């Protein structure tokens, strides 16, 4: 074969590789865009869904003025946020005051990178996906702590301190609760964890771990009954007291994103992810997620908040020993079976 022909074939091969690389990049960008739009749409829709469901639980009217059955309420809320005065207190630290609400949005969205919607539909199939989720959820502490400190308000500072202590404490139990699942699946890869549940969901052998993870999820999201960082009767709005306009809206969206993320992780780790009969995998995934979102809203409608010391006692005196016992028993059973 002539040198010119070889050169031509080389260029053709390079062109084919370049085309395949661009196709892969384009496919990845499509997945990122679909996940981003989907997650943000769910968070926006939850502003209507939560109020509508709360009104049903409490036998009263919910949003019913903007659009049919109030479905356009999220759009009205967004317009209101855009036109409200975006005020920065003169006594606040401007840079940190603006940065704080952005941190919570970015950290939660980054955590969605490793959540598999189906076996093949995931942005990044990391073999340390579970550790990546824990790392991203830990960054949320900086958001609430900086929001409270930069506001230079006593209510905000106390709320930020409460939030930091609460989130850091319950991250310990959240991580320990997941160790039993890691032992059973032998991996931190969320896809492999889902694949290991084809015969039996991990919620059955890891019921104590699931309960601890669920309670830690409430504390991480700062949702009722663990919303002491925003207790209106004591701290006005806690670390969000001085925020208004879009920055206040970002904290609200961050809360709904966090609720969606925790629901997605519960479904993935303990309830078989996208696995289910008859329907496509992503349909099962969404159904399971909305069941847990409805559960979080139901808890808000029914339970009062405890005292702050009761919250910390629950974590360190009950959940921590329960996590350690669950880990020891799980390890012992695995060793016995292997022998």
Residue with tokens 């003169």, as numbered in its chain: 90
Enter the pTM of the model: 0.85
> Which pLDDT score, from 0 to 100, does residue 134 have?
87
Contact 130, 188 (CB under 8 A): yes
* pLDDT tens track for 56-93: 887 888 788 887 878 888 888 888 777 777 777 778 78
3-class secondary-structure state, position 300: helix
Q: Is the peptide bond before 225 cis (omega within 30 degrees of 0)?
A: yes
Beta-carbon contacts of 161 under 8 Å, excluding residues fewer than 6 positions away, are: 145, 148
Does pLDDT of 7 surpass 50? no
* pLDDT tens track for 197-256: 888 899 998 999 999 999 888 887 777 777 766 666 666 777 777 777 788 778 888 888
Contact 221, 170 (CB under 8 A): no
**How many Å apart are CA 216 and CA 61, to the nearest integer?**
32
**Residue 6 CB-density burial (10 A; 0-12 exposed, 13-18 middle, 19+ buried):** exposed
**Residue 319 CB-density burial (10 A; 0-12 exposed, 13-18 middle, 19+ buried):** buried
Structure confidence at residue 268 as a pLDDT band (50, 70, 90): very high
């Amino acid at each position: 074969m002539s040198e010119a022909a070889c050169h031509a074939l080389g260029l053709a091969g390079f062109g084919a590789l370049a085309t395949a690389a661009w196709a892969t990049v384009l496919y990845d960008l499509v997945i990122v865009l679909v996940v981003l739009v989907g997650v943000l749409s769910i968070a926006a829709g939850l502003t209507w869904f939560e109020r509508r469901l709360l009104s049903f639980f409490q036998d009263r009217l919910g949003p019913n003025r903007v659009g049919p059955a109030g479905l356009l309420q999220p759009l009205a809320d967004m317009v209101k946020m855009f036109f409200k005065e975006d005020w920065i207190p003169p006594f606040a630290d401007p840079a940190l005051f603006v940065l704080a609400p952005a941190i919570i949005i970015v950290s939660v969205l980054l955590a969605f990178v490793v959540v598999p919607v189906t076996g093949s539909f995931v942005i990044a199939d990391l073999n340390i996906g579970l550790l990546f989720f824990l790392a991203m959820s830990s960054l949320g502490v900086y958001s609430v702590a900086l929001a409270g400190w930069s506001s230079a308000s006593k209510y905000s500072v106390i709320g930020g301190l409460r939030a930091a202590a609460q989130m850091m404490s319950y991250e310990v139990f959240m991580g320990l609760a997941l160790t039993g699942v890691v032992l059973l699946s032998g991996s931190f890869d969320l896809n492999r964890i889902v694949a290991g549940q084809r015969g039996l969901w991990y919620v059955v052998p890891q019921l104590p771990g699931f309960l601890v993870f669920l309670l830690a999820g409430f504390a991480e999201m700062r949702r009722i009954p663990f919303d002491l960082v925003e207790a209106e009767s004591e701290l006005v709005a806690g670390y969000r007291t001085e925020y208004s306009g879009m920055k206040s809206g970002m904290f609200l969206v961050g809360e709904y994103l966090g609720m969606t993320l925790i629901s997605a992780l519960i479904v993935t780790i303990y309830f078989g992810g996208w696995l289910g009969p008859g329907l496509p995998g992503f349909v099962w995934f969404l159904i399971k997620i909305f069941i847990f979102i409805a559960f979080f809203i139901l808890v808000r409608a029914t339970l009062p908040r405890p005292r702050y010391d009761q919250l910390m006692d629950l974590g360190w005196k009950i959940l921590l020993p329960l996590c350690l016992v669950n880990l020891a028993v799980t390890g012992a059973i695995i060793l016995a079976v292997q022998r």
